[in-house]
Amino acid sequence: MSDIEFSIQGHVAHVKLNRPKSLNAIDPGMDAALLEAWREINRNPEIRAAILSAEGERAFCVGADVSQGTERAGRMALGGGLTGIGGPQVTLTKPLVAAVQGYALGGGFELAMCADVIVAAGNTLFGLPETKAGIMGECGVMHRAIRQLPHRVAMAMILTGDRMPAADALAHGLVNEVVELADLAAAAQRWADKIVAASPLAVQAAKAAVLQRLDWPLEVALATRFEPIEAYAYTEDRHEGERAFAEKRKPVWRGR
């Protein structure tokens, strides 16, 4: 079986890390396969959301497989380019739901934080082991952690290497939901279904606008023109939304 499983069910793409004996550590072959998955998700108009998951109960992902070296083909960033660690960053234009269980450490923690929605099993442990292990390479995960967690919570994780259980991650707003391990896949699918029920073009335009000005001053973000949002005004889906509202029915989105 492939170390990366990719499938499309309805309007949802499923990407699964499938190397459980290695705690789903990412090797160069997995990086290349993930890059192809992200590219297909971006270019396929039938795909409106994606779910990233991992095989096995013990780990979502423990980062890069250092046993196979740290260089990735063409200086590809970890996670098929998604993290921006170690190479050019790939921007996923469709919403991504991460279903996380067990260890999510280092680059694996970073990969989870790249998602727009995170659902975690109760056995999840998030961690930044770099300082505790005395191994410091790329530090992208730390930059994301300090932006997605309260300052002192993130600094404590960075400086001590202590791991954060799922319940604490929920309390700090790092994850959207904590469920039993047996319910993880269904919970991730439920979130993806919620996203797919919305206008796909509006969702993609909103994601792009939010992320493009995330770290800019509010007055700059408010004054920025976002071409995808302006273009949405002339789409069939916008008119379908208006008709559906007037006719008191669910809209039928066509993505155009």
| Integer CA distances (angstroms), 232 to 31, 45, 48, 114, 222, in order | 33, 15, 16, 25, 18
Note the pLDDT of residue 139.
62
Residue 95 half-sphere exposure toward CB, CA atoms < 13 A = 28
Structure tokens at 45: 């108009």
Tell me whether residue 138 is one of the annotated catalytic residues. no
Q: What is the pLDDT of residue 213?
A: 83
247 is catalytic: no
Interatomic CA distance for residues 124 and 209, integer angstroms = 31
**Structure confidence by residue, pLDDT tens digits, 95-111:** 999 999 999 999 999 99
Name the residue type at position 91: T
Counting DSSP H helices and E strands in the chain, the numbers are 11, 10
pLDDT greater than 90 at residue 140: no
**What string of H, E and C letters represents the secondary structure of 22-63?**
HCCCECHHHHHHHHHHHHHHHHCCCCCEEEEEECCCCEEECC
Q: Using CA of residue 189, residue 195, residue 197, residue 199, what is the dihedral sign?
A: negative
Task: Quote the pLDDT of residue 155.
Answer: 94
Average pLDDT for the chain: 90
Whether 67 has a pLDDT exceeding 80, the answer reads no
One-letter identity of residue 17:
L
Contacts with 164 (C-beta within 8 Å, 6 or more apart), sequence order: 125, 126, 127, 153, 157, 172, 174
From the list 40, 46, 57, 110, the catalytic residue is 110
What's the rounded Cα separation, in Å, for the pair 80 and 62? 15
Which phi and psi (to 5°) does residue 181 adopt? -55, -40
What is the model's pTM? 0.92
Top-tier CATH class for 4-196: alpha beta
Whether the CB-CB separation of 11 and 95 falls below 8 Å is answered with: no
Cα separations in angstroms, 40 against 83, 86, 110, 172, 196: 17, 22, 22, 33, 17
Fold classification of 199-247 (topology level): Lyase 2-enoyl-coa Hydratase; Chain  A, domain 2 (1.10.12)
For the segment 198-223, what is each residue's pLDDT rounded down to a tens digit?
999 999 999 998 888 888 888 888 88
Q: Answer yes or no: same fold for 4-196 and 199-247.
A: no
Contacts of 18 (CB under 8 A, 6+ apart): 1, 2, 3, 4, 5, 24, 54, 55
Question: Where in the chain are the domains?
Answer: 4-196, 199-247
Are 91 and 66 in contact by the 8 Å Cβ rule? The answer is no
Q: Greater confidence, 242 or 73?
A: 242
5, 36, 57, 130: the catalytic one is: 130
Give the pLDDT mean for 224-239.
83
